[in-house]
Amino acid sequence: MKFKSKTVVIKLSVSDILKSQKFYEEILGFKVDEKYTLNSDGNYGTESFIQLYLDPKDKNSFMLGLYKDIDVPFYPLPETGTAPTFIVDDIEATLDYFKSQNVVIDVIDGEIIISNISDKGYVDQFFFFRDLDNNSLVIRENILK
């Protein structure tokens, strides 16, 4: 038998579920899928979980799970790890929007938007941003050469 999966839920560690939910709903446009909410102690304490989806037409298109398993945001900032990536049509407009919303943007080697060229010559641009718990996420725009 081969491994088969219908979809993927990306779990993010959060210190305050309700503050994180607000960030993901108001800044990134996610919606809560209430079927999968687990309020562990009536006050969203440790081991609580909220599942969010991005596309209202297809609730399985992109999902994040906010899981209360840390007491305070990560510090120092993580240097490596999984970074969920959002593909956008206009990276500059997205960056401008994030700046207007005071989203934390990472500067790497003096650059915000980083470019890579694949072995096949495709150009890819991306930047890193952080949620309220310093989870690292990526905005990426693929540009054909």
**Domains of the chain by residue range:** 9-68, 85-143
The three-class DSSP label of residue 62 is: coil
CA–CA distance, 107 with 32 (Å, rounded to integer): 31
pLDDT at 30: 94
Whether the Cβ atoms of residue 142 and residue 87 lie closer than 8 Å to each other: yes
What sign results for the dihedral spanned by CA atoms 85, 89, 90, 93?
negative
Which single residue is written with the structure tokens 């206009």? 90
Q: Over 80: is that where the pLDDT of 107 sits?
A: yes
Provide the token pair at 20.
């994180």
Per-residue pLDDT, averaged over 64-85, amounts to 82
What are residue 59's phi and psi, to 5 degrees?
Answer: -65, -10
Asked: is 85-143 a CATH 3.10.180.10 domain? The reply is yes
Asked: is 9-68 a CATH 3.30.1900.10 domain? The reply is yes
The one-letter amino acid at 63: M
Percent of the chain clearing pLDDT 90 (strictly above): 66
CA–CA distance, 42 with 50 (Å, rounded to integer): 13
What are residue 135's phi and psi, to 5 degrees?
Answer: -65, 135
29-38: per-residue pLDDT in tens?
A: 999 999 999 9
Which single residue is written with the structure tokens 């079927």? 35
Close Cβ partners of 121 (under 8 Å, ≥ 6 residues apart): 145
Per-residue pLDDT, averaged over 85-102, amounts to 94
CA–CA distance, 138 with 88 (Å, rounded to integer): 10
Q: Over 70: is that where the pLDDT of 145 sits?
A: no
Per-residue pLDDT, averaged over 12-16, amounts to 95
